[in-house]
């Protein structure tokens, strides 16, 4: 192997040696512990240490790194206490996830590391978000994120590289090309010859390096980072390497030809560098043995501390509380009595504008939201007021933009991500339910992101622009779900959502945008998240609903003046107001849960079940549900009207009253 020390001093070379030796010695110890059953699973990076250590040591200590399974060297290079690292591997509470996640599925802002999730690809966009935050703050920093050759087949890889290129984000995309994605060889993963072939297609500089040569990795990343700090832009670095053990130990290596192991064993990154240093007289046999004994002693001390720590004791209250960053909302009242008649869409725009003024670190992202103002014109004029840095048109890449929101949160910024239509959120589903929702529970990093969701049917837009998909997120702990029905609540709840440091899915019915108006305060104000309101009061029946359902219920009330009923507007779906529900059920004894979403698996089923379990003593009849048909949303107006629950509501009301 050709090592070129250039102008690096003996001390710098010895630092690299210590850096690459530590993860190797930890790995060797972990493999013994795995066989003894003292750790449950291990993803080995043996043979690939030069990439992790060389690239991590090439960066400044406060520059973020986003590693994967085989990047133990990143964590050790950032001098993480080994007792905490080993406690993490053992599921102990003193680990970085309190026993809630395993191996390297964690981050530490103290060490400027954001750990992976098993889906691999979503982390690439999080790196984009961290880099964007630095760029907006005029900080000369780079962000480093890893991908395996297998993980690079995911769509998230394309989205992250494309956005980084378009926005000139200083991200180093380090592709560890070891020839296999678990057992699938490269020729079954992709058709191109090298990952550096992809760089020019994205408009990204691309380099290929020997991933087993720590000096080459270190020098290349160091020079690239220096250049990118001065001239922000992304760079793709392909590190050619080989995995000497299985994807994880249980999977074995029988699928790999033996001759490959023999070939790459001669290129072992630790042994070859060690031999080079001995030949260069930078390292002596005595010094080498001394360093190894020192590291082994550190490992044993860390292990003993970790093993002596008991397994976590489950605390239900703590588990539930840690799904969210602690936040006690204090409702903000308008500063004056000034009011203006505003449509629903104007109220949303008003909230966004005032929150942008209130939070200088708030950034808006979405397709066509800048000069065009968004397809519904909610952000019209915002570029002139706040600039292109904070009002950002995005490529068609829902997953990347959501991941960028999490990356921005890591750097203390707020994000609003607009889905052009709520239907399109499916393209970014994993980022929301696996990354945004679980991040605080896993390692204490909140996702300060609001996702605006123009939703609902009624405009004959067919199956892909009309869905009510709030139930997808209602089921996901870690999220909050808000769904206003009036201009007053639209403004107040959006302001509250943007204030809240947790991820909020904010649903806004498209058919309300320009069909209803209300006199609302001109000043900034908030509405309490998690609190329902009575839209109408009566004694015969309770209709529990939200969004467009509130207006259908009120219309029915006008058509049936003899009917006295409570209309409870939930406003927030997660968490929903159980106290208000119990109160209205106790008052009337007859209940209908109404929503536009399809019946099966809808939110109404959960609310009805809760009423049956907790409010049975108040009921004078069965809890009924009224919802849309269990079909996709049809296009033709007559079919769409049959699909929607509006006309079935009256029948159900009459049936419940007659029970």
C-alpha angle with apex 152: 150 to 157, nearest 5 degrees? 155
DSSP readout, 596-641?
EEESTT-HHHHHHHHHHHHSGGG-SS--EEEEE-SSPPPSSHHHHH
Specify the DSSP class assigned to residue 506.
Answer: E
Task: Estimate to the nearest angstrom the gap between the alpha carbon of 411 and the chain centroid.
Answer: 14
The number of C-alpha atoms within 13 Å of 203 and in the hemisphere containing its C-beta is 9
Report how far Cα 386 is from the mean position of its chain's Cα atoms: 26
Residues 6+ apart with CB under 8 A from 19: 53, 56, 57, 73, 76, 77, 214
Residue 93 has φ and ψ, to the nearest 5°, of: -70, -25
Residues pairing with 504 in the sheet:
450, 480
Q: Residue 507: enclosing H or E segment and its boundaries?
A: strand 504-509
Phi, psi torsion values for 347, nearest 5 degrees = -65, -40
C-alpha 340: how far from chain center: 37
CA-to-CA dists, residue 226 to 59, 232, 328, angstroms: 9, 10, 43
Active-site residue (options: 69, 247, 440, 465): 465
String of b and e for 81-96 (b: at least 16 CB within 10 Å)?
ebbbbbbbbbbbebbb
Annotated catalytic residue 465: yes
The H-or-E segment that residue 306 falls in is helix 285-308
Closest among 471, 472, 491, 494 to 482, alpha carbons compared: 494
Question: Where would I find the beta strands (DSSP E) of 104-181?
Answer: 143-148, 171-177, 180-181
621 HSE (CA, 13 A, CB side): 18
Q: Any idea what the Cα angle at residue 211 is, between residues 209 and 212, rounded to 5°?
A: 130
Question: Which pair of tokens denotes residue 468?
Answer: 């009510």
Tell me whether strands 362-366 and 391-393 are parallel, antiparallel or unpaired.
Answer: parallel
CA separation for the pair 627, 648 (Å, rounded): 8
Instruction: Give the residue numbers marked as catalytic.
Output: 465
């Amino acid at each position: 192997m050709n090592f070129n020390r250039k102008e690096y001093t003996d001390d710098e070379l010895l630092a690299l040696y210590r850096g690459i030796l530590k993860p190797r010695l930890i790995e060797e110890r972990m493999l013994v512990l795995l066989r003894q059953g003292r750790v449950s699973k291990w993803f080995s990076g043996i043979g690939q240490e030069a990439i992790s250590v060389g690239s991590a040591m090439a960066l400044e200590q406060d520059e973020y790194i986003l590693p994967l399974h085989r990047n133990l060297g990143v964590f050790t290079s950032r001098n993480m206490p080994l007792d905490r690292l080993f406690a993490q591997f053992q599921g102990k509470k003193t680990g970085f996830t309190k026993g809630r996640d395993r191996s390297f599925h964690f981050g530490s802002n103290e060490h400027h590391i954001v750990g992976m999730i098993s889906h691999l690809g979503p982390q690439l966009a999080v790196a984009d978000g961290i880099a964007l935050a630095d760029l907006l703050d005029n900080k000369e920093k780079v962000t480093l994120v890893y991908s395996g050759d297998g993980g690079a087949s995911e769509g998230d890889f394309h989205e992250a590289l494309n956005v980084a290129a378009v926005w000139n984000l200083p991200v180093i995309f380090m592709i560890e090309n070891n020839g296999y994605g678990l057992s699938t060889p490269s020729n079954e993963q992709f058709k191109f010859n090298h990952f550096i072939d992809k760089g020019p297609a994205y408009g990204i500089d691309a380099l290929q390096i020997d991933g087993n040569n720590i000096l080459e990795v270190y020098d290349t990343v160091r020079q690239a980072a220096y250049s990118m700090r001065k001239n922000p832009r992304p760079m793709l670095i392909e590190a050619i390497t080989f995995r000497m053990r299985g994807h994880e130990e249980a999977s074995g290596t029988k699928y790999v030809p033996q001759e490959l192991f023999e070939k790459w064993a001669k290129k072992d990154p630790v042994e070859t560098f060690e031999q080079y240093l001995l030949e260069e007289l930078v390292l002596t046999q005595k010094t080498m043995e001394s360093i190894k004994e020192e590291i082994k002693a550190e490992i044993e001390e860390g292990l003993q501390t970790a093993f002596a720590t008991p397994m976590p004791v489950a605390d239900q209250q703590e588990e539930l509380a840690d799904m969210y960053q602690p936040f006690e909302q204090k409702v903000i009242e308008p500063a004056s009595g000034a009011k203006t008649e505003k449509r629903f869409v104007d109220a949303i725009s008003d909230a966004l504008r005032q929150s942008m003024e209130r939070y200088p670190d708030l950034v808006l992202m979405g397709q066509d939201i800048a000069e065009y103002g968004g397809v519904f014109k909610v952000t019209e004029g915002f570029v002139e007021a706040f600039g292109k840095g904070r009002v950002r048109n995005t490529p068609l890449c829902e997953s990347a933009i959501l991941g960028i929101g999490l990356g921005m949160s890591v750097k203390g910024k707020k994000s609003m991500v607009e889905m052009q239509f709520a239907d399109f959120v499916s393209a970014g589903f994993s980022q929301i339910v696996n990354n945004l929702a679980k991040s605080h529970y896993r390692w204490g990093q909140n996702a300060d992101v609001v996702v605006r969701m123009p939703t609902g049917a009624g405009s004959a837009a067919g199956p892909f622009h009309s869905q009510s998909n709030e139930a997808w997120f209602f089921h996901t702990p870690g999220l909050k779900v808000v769904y206003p029905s009036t201009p007053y609540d639209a403004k107040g709840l959006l302001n509250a959502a943007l204030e809240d440091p947790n991820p909020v899915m904010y649903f806004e019915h498209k058919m309300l945008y320009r069909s209803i108006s209300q006199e609302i305060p001109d000043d900034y104000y908030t509405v309490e998240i998690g609190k329902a309101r009575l839209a109408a009061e009566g004694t015969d029946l309770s209709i529990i609903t939200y969004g467009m359902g509130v207006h259908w219920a009120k219309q029915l009330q006008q058509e049936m003046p003899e009917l006295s009923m409570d209309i409870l507007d939930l406003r927030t779906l997660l968490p929903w107001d159980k106290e208000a529900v119990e109160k209205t059920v106790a008052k009337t004894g007859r209940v209908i849960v109404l929503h536009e979403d399809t019946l099966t698996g809808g939110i109404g089923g959960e609310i009805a079940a809760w009423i049956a379990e907790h409010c049975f003593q108040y009921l004078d009849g069965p809890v009924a549900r009224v919802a849309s048909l269990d079909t996709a949303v049809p296009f033709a107006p007559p079919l769409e009207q049959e699909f929607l629950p509006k006309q079935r509501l009256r029948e159900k009301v009459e049936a419940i009253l007659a029970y």
